[in-house]
Structure 1
Amino acid sequence: MKTENANERNSVMNKDNITDFLGKNPFFWSRLGFCYDPPRAGKDGKQIIFSRDFEDYRRVHRQFADAGVKLHTTILNSGWVADGKFDYTLTDEILDEVFRGNPDIYYMPRVKLNVPPDWCRNHPEDTFVYYFGPRDAESISALAETPEQDYFGFDSDGYSVNGGKGVWKDDRVNRGGLIGLQSFSSEKWVADASDALRRLLVHLSESRYADRIIGVHVAYGMCGETNLWGSWSPLDSERTGLCGHRGDFGITNRRRFREYGIQKYKSESGMLEKWGDPEPPTPLAREEVRDSLDGMFFPEGSKERDYFEFVSETNADAIEAYCRIVKESSPLFGHELCAGVFYGYMYLPQAANAGHLALRRIIDSEYVDFLSSPKGYFRCLAGDPGGEQGPSESVAKKKAWLDEIDDHTHLDRRPEGRAANEDESLTLLWREAVKNITHDQGFWWMDLGEGWYDSPGLMGAISRITSLQSEISDIPSRSAAEILLVVDDGSLAATSVSYGLNFGLMYQLHSELKLCGAPVDTLLLDDMLTTDLSRYRMIVFANCFRFDEGERERILGKVSGKLVVWHYAAGIMAPGFSPDNYTRLTGFGMREIERWDDVFCGYSSGYSNGNFRKPGDFPLFSPDPDGAEVYSVYPNGDPMCCVRGNTVVCACPSLKAADFREFARRAGVTIMCPSDCAVFADNRVAGFFPKEGFDGEITLGKEKLKVSVPAKGRLVFRIRGGRYERVL
């Protein structure tokens, strides 16, 4: 497969270099082909598509192709229109429109494999059932295609689409569902969806566009992002609320969870000894507010922990099955196809319930070429550091990570959450691009609003970014970061869901650290253990609560001589729960303290309480300073953050950018900008994105440069032969 990139040379995608190819060539995504999911026919009997403003879509695709972005992606109807029924009329229409006027682009369709709703009527035992839903097949079947079937996995007054002329309006209210669509543990769904995918691939291979199709982005679940139905819903204990949406209590899933326990514990009696009963744990059992540390963490053998692992493993089964079909269909096209999914959203509070904790298995899978997620939606405007929803750099060590850049530019029709003007929009474009380029990651520009980039200024920036990316693509990236952030997916399965703690450890901590004025790398704990850490001077551990036997000693050996920041109850399970484990890891004792309110969560602002949970939904403790420096205290005066030598313990996530900058200075980290500023840099590119206006010296290698950058502005350099050439 050959495609021209921005510097007009040919690059080749083959079986051996797919990861490299995807990481070096940007994509563009538009709403062309955006159709109803699950498959649904309108009053005319035809599959519903939200807009047929094809001419406008094609024009934007052409603009991106002319800017050097030759890889394109959209949603493509699978043709699976009803149980056992296939119709490719809409599929072919979308294909024709994608390539009309754009014959030189290459295409990776996003194909959704959620079942048509009538499938649930015919296969009730394989249907996803919420906690308050029925347990017998006849009652489940009767709810299919009624208002009590949840089509989306969340309550909504119809399909949520963002304005624009020609956009179809939904007349179906989707609220209060008792059942969802397919169970993720259903072998019947995997078999039927596999058949639908194979049929589609044969159809595509026989089309006149076969040589332009480079792979498939496999999608299913909520929003096509492989999240279990209902896993993002707010928590409420009332029937009118959504607590009951969390988890699958359908016939097949209950059977398979029981079988999982029997297999893991060697017998039914062994399973019952551990669990008490074979039913999935209730939603409340998985995430009720805990008032003690030992209640906050699930021990090995607990039903809650096993359930989190089970839903991730069954999700991974489906991912591998579908990606394998794509890979094995490559001979039909005469060239290698790439395959990947949205996965690894471990920074979200419901990652465990969503089935997103089998990261290592998916990263190691021979059938998966790329993983993706939308860019982080927290603190993502101009002046903010932006972010991710998962450990993209760990993924990129072995697979391609494709970041979905869906920044709401000033051209978005919705006023909330968008850039204020074109200058802020340009900051967003450059920040997201430089972030990905310096971390050796791929990405696609997403236009979810029909015209987010439709201005000469923004398209000019896209062209410059594409040229820069192409210019440096043959130069291996070497991170300039001397700070490493470590996260752990394994600890999430062993931890009760807490919105407040997640807000601190996975949102605010990440944002504040990235604003410290120095580049930051992020890795999974297991990758940290196998990575050369010699260039890092400061290592920050976010949610690393659970260690395997002997792992604590390996970690301490790896970080010896570096400044280390431990957060919350680091290493308290090693592997069993004990406060002594925390002391052996950090050198500090600990004592639990009573809460004075249900609001305090460390960081003072920015918490979104749209989930019926107070931010103070986790237990607190205080480290025993025993002569150490008390760096900060709780509102009641108890020590909260303490420092002894190169060890920092922060019992409640609360450190700001200035605090991290102070610790980085103590560690000898090069502070490239002595202000609250996100810095992304490798050996090829360096970008500065300050929160407030900055007028002073920045550090570039061995040089210092006097600069003036306005608030929410940008400063980007191309590094060539040790020289820093200003791009912006």
Structure 2
Amino acid sequence: MRSSRFLSSLLLTLLCAFSAHSQTPVAEIREQLGGPTLFIDGRPHSAFSTMTYRPQLSDYQELADIGIDLFCFSTSSDHPFYPFAADAWIGPEEYDYSQLDERARQVLEASPEAWLLPRVNVAAPGWWLDLHPEEVCVYSDGSNLELSRDYVQDQRAPSMASRLWRDSVKENLARMIDHIEAQDYGKRVIGYHIASGITEEWMYWGFQSNQLADYSKPGIAAFRNWLREKYRTDTVLQDVWGEPSATFATAEVPNATWRNRMDHGTFLNPIQSMRVVDYNLFLSDMVADCISEFARAVKEKTNGTKVVGAFYGYLLEIAWHHHAIPPSGHLAIDKLLRDPSLDFFSSPSSYGARPPGTGFSIFMSLTESFRRHGKLWMDENDYRGFLAKDAKPQHGYVETLDETLALHWRELGDVLTHGAGMWWFNMWGGWYSDPRLLEQMETMVELGKENLELDKDSTAEVAVVVDPLSPAYLGAMETLHSIGLLQYKETWAKFGAPFDLL
């Protein structure tokens, strides 16, 4: 074991030396002082950064001036489901990376020594879906359109079970990385944040629009293969499902009537409804497999020299939804915790109680479990301050500078005490363009650097343990998680003792 660790350390040292010579950065997550920490070319970094959907040179300059040197921006290796970046895959064997190049160079114009962590959205362009209609996600009513909501106008999505689609994503990621590494800015890229699904956050298609998926041919075939791997024989499947005619060759995705039922109060009875439980578990496994497969492709393409991450694990937040947690695709946390290809995970801070004074800051997931598995948690600080004039009330918009500062200091406390990284989400630009706010943010950036020298071991006195698989046994209209997770979050946040979410 010691020999193995020595060889790993030696290899890393050689990689860092090679990096210094070739100017290609080596980024990784290492354990330091009790917590996972971002390292770039052998040096620890606070992972304090910024992200935007609307890149503006003036925003980059003012944030660089207060000490931020890690910048995220939206791009795509093929087609973004949301209109926050341009298509890169514009036709068969036809690619256009001009917007990617422009956005990367814009950051470096403002801050030549900045590090880059692009958010890479993956989906499928319309022309590809036209060529492969059988690979399109299908909903329980037979339609294949994700209904309009939040920037999406009735569009199709690829089934995440589609082998053809997954292979195309991996090929396009590799092609994009080749392009990046051939550019002048390639030496500043430290990793890739892979995004897909609803709101880029890997919730399965249809989740926010109350549409149940996935009834496509690839989706049905993948479910049958999953059942075969779990039960091994038709006889066992028939016994567990209570259906003498069930076979791996003929098993169907449960219809909407099945998936909307509740057998005992809020619960599904496995004797009656195991097919629904199985499908809930399968859907999350499928999403997790996608994330893992794409992360592994990036790791292999970059020879393990870049960090890779994703949004995932929103158990403490999406309980509010009409169909609640079961069909979200976010139950397979354990699978991803153990995946060595993934270095960091992320979510916004909870939207549940954001007001200053009466609210609180808490992450959406089981962040202590991620920490204990060596994964860095990255907080998406998308608090809508007094300059976010286009913000919606449900996102916690505040109207004064003092309120804005109170929110950011509160959020910083949550980040520092949990050893997390963070990006200030300058979503539509100009959200921080006030010298009084920037002055305080500069102090926050310095505190992030100082925190690198402090012990990150947990001081929690209370453990809050959540089973990520248990929601699979709840009906689609359940309220138990809404009560048990959403409402109790305020109790945990305000009862005066440090706690860990596992």
Classify the TM-score, shorter chain: 0.7 to 0.9
The code of the aligned residue for 1:500 comes to T
1:689-728 to structure 2, matched below 5 A, reads: none
> Offset of 1:403 from its aligned partner?
0.9
Q: What corresponds to 2:82 in structure 1?
A: none
User: What is the CA distance between 1:223 and its match in structure 2?
Assistant: 1.9
CA distance in 2, matches of 1:298, 1:421: 52
Cα 1:297/1:85, change in 2 over 3 Å:
farther
Q: CA offset at residue 274 of structure 1?
A: 3.3
1:424 pairs, out of 403, 406, 419, with 403
The CA distance in 1 between the partners of 2:182 and 2:331, in whole Å, is: 37
Structure-1 separation of matches of 2:119 and 2:368: 23
Post-superposition Cα deviations, 1:59-118, rounded to whole Å, max 9, x if no partner, equal 212222221211110102322234553222222222222322221210010111101022
Cα deviation for residue 460 of structure 1 reads 1.3
Kept in 2: contact 1:386–1:511 (CA 8 A): no
CA change 1:306–1:83 in 2 (3 A) is farther
Deviations 1:23-55 (A, max 9, x none): 7320111124xxxxxxxxxxxxxxxxxxxxx5x
Aligned equivalents of 1:29 and 1:368: distance in 2?
A: 20
Distance (whole Å) between structure 2 residues aligned to residue 319 and residue 267 of structure 1: 29
For residue 269 of structure 1, report the CA deviation from its aligned partner: 4.5
Matched, 1:159 2:151: yes
The equivalences for 1:104-253 within 5 A come to: 104-133=113-142, 150=145, 153-156=146-149, 159=151, 173-174=153-154, 180-234=156-210, 245-253=211-219
Partner of 2:199: helix, strand, or coil? Answer: helix
Does residue 386 of structure 2 align to residue 394 of structure 1?
Answer: no
Compared CA separation, residues 449 and 16, structure 1 to 2 (3 A): closer
Q: 1:443: which partner in 2?
A: 422
Partners of 1:121 and 1:273 lie apart in 2 by 41
Quick one: structure 1 residues 317 and 300, their matched pair in 2 at CA, closer, same or farther if it must change by over 3 Å? farther
C-alpha displacement of 1:499: 4.9
C-alpha distance in structure 1 between counterparts of 2:258 and 2:93, whole Å: 38
CA distance in structure 2 between the partners assigned to 1:314 and 1:370 by the alignment = 19
* 1:340 correspondence with 2:362: no
Taking a change above 3 Å as real, the CA distance of residues 433 and 154 of structure 1, as seen in their structure-2 partners, is farther
| Partner-residue secondary structure (3-state), 2:500 | strand
2:363 & 2:240 partners in 1: Cα distance?
Answer: 37
Against the structure 1 CA distance between its residues 460 and 426, is the aligned structure 2 distance closer, same or farther, given a 3 Å change threshold? same
SS in 2 for 1:17: strand
> Aligned pair 1:487/2:463, yes or no?
no
Distance 2:271 2:366 in 1: 25
Aligned to 2:53: 31
1-structure distance, mates of 2:164, 2:275? 26
Post-superposition offset of 1:201: 0.3
Please tell me whether the aligned partners of residues 70 and 114 of structure 2 are also in contact (alpha carbons under 8 angstroms): yes
Task: Report the CA distance shift for 1:300/1:27 in structure 2 as closer, same or farther (over 3 A).
Answer: farther
Question: CA 1:414/1:14 → structure 2, altered by over 3 Å: closer, same or farther?
Answer: closer
Are the aligned partners of 1:262 and 1:270 in contact in 2 as well (CA < 8 Å)?
no
Over 3 Å counting, the alpha-carbon distance change for 1:15 and 1:503 in structure 2 is closer
CA distance in 1, matches of 2:455, 2:269: 41
1 or 2, which has the higher helix percentage?
A: 2
How far off its partner does 1:330 sit? 2.2
Compared CA separation, residues 68 and 353, structure 1 to 2 (3 A): same
Match of 1:20 among 13, 37, 45: 37
TM-score by length of 1: 0.58
Partner in structure 1 of residue 9 of structure 2: none
* Equivalent position to 2:451, from 460, 472, 485: 472
Cα separation, partners in 2 of 1:452 and 1:16, compared to 1, 3 Å:
closer
What displacement does 1:428 show? Answer: 0.8
* Alpha-carbon shift at residue 273 of structure 1 (Å): 4.1
CA displacement, residues 632-687 of structure 1 (integer Å, 9 cap, x when unaligned):
xxxxxxxxxxxxxxxxxxxxxxxxxxxxxxxxxxxxxxxxxxxxxxxxxxxxxxxx
The answer to whether the 8 A contact 1:298-1:496 is kept is no
Question: Given the superposition, is the C-alpha separation of residues 438 and 400 from structure 1 closer, same or farther in structure 2, using an over 3 Å criterion?
Answer: same
Shift, 1:259, TM fit:
2.3
Structure 1 residue 341 displacement after superposition: 0.6
1:485-524 Cα distance to aligned partner (Å, 9 max, x none): 221102112222345322211111011221123322211x
Contact 2:299 2:306 survives alignment (8 Å): yes
| Kept in 1: contact 2:29–2:343 (CA 8 A) | no
- Give 2:297's aligned residue: 325
**Greater share of strand residues, 1 or 2?**
1
Q: More deviation in 453-462 or 271-280?
A: 271-280
State whether structure 2 residue 68 is matched by structure 1 residue 75: no
- Which one of the candidate residues 232, 240, 246 is aligned to 1:266? 232
CA distance in 2 between counterparts of 1:377 and 1:441 reads 18
Q: What is the Cα deviation at residue 232 of structure 1?
A: 2.2
Alignment pair present for 1:86 and 2:100: no
CA distance in 2, matches of 1:300, 1:437: 47
TM-score normalised to the size of structure 2? 0.83
Distance 1:84 1:128, change over 3 A: farther
Match of 2:360?
Answer: 385
User: Partner of 1:307: helix, strand, or coil?
Assistant: helix
CA radius of gyration, larger in: 1
Query: Contact between 2:365 and 2:501, CA under 8 Å: does it hold in 1?
Result: no
CA distance in 2 between counterparts of 1:372 and 1:102 reads: 25
Local SS of the residue matching 2:352: coil
Q: Is the 8 A contact 1:308 1:493 kept in 2?
A: yes
How many percent of aligned residue pairs carry the same amino acid? 27
Equivalent residue for 2:333?
A: 359
* 2:381 counterpart letter in structure 1: I
Change (3 A) 1:225 1:82: farther
Q: From the superposition, tell whether residues 283 and 375 of structure 1 become closer, same or farther in structure 2 (CA, over 3 Å).
A: farther
Matches of 2:28 and 2:427 in 1, distance apart? 31
Higher relative contact order (CA 8 A, sep 6+): 2
Amino acid corresponding to residue 322 of structure 1 in structure 2: F
Contiguous gaps of at least 5 residues in structure 2: 1-14, 17-24, 40-44, 78-87
1:270-309 correspondence runs (5 A): 270-275=236-241, 276=243, 277=246, 278-292=251-265, 295-298=267-270, 302-309=274-281
Q: CA deviation at 1:387?
A: 2.2
SS at match of 2:192: strand
Greater CA deviation, 295-304 or 491-500?
A: 295-304
- Name the aligned partner's letter for residue 127 of structure 2: D
Contact 1:378–1:387 under 8 Å retained in 2: no
- Which residue is equivalent to 1:716? none
Residues 61, 111 of structure 2: 8 Å contact kept: yes
CA deviation map 1:137-178 (0-9, x unaligned): xxxxxxxxxxxx53xx4423x727xxxxxxxxxxxx43xx7x
Distance 1:300 1:339 in 2: 41
Change (3 A) 1:483 1:182: same
Q: Displacement of 1:285 after TM fit?
A: 2.2
- Counterpart among 513, 520, 525 of residue 492 in structure 2: 513
Secondary structure of 2:286 counterpart = helix
Look up the SS of the partner of 1:209 in the other structure: helix
Deviation at 1:280? 1.0
One-letter identity of the residue aligned with 1:468 = L
Unaligned runs of 5+ residues in structure 1 are 3-11, 33-53, 135-148, 161-172, 235-244, 524-728
Number of aligned positions between the proteins: 444
Q: Find the partner of 1:374 among 343, 348, 358.
A: 348
Measured in 2, the distance between the counterparts of 1:21 and 1:262 equals 40
RMSD, aligned α-carbons: 2.4
Q: Which amino acid aligns with 2:126?
A: P
- Tell me by how many angstroms 1:381 deviates: 1.9
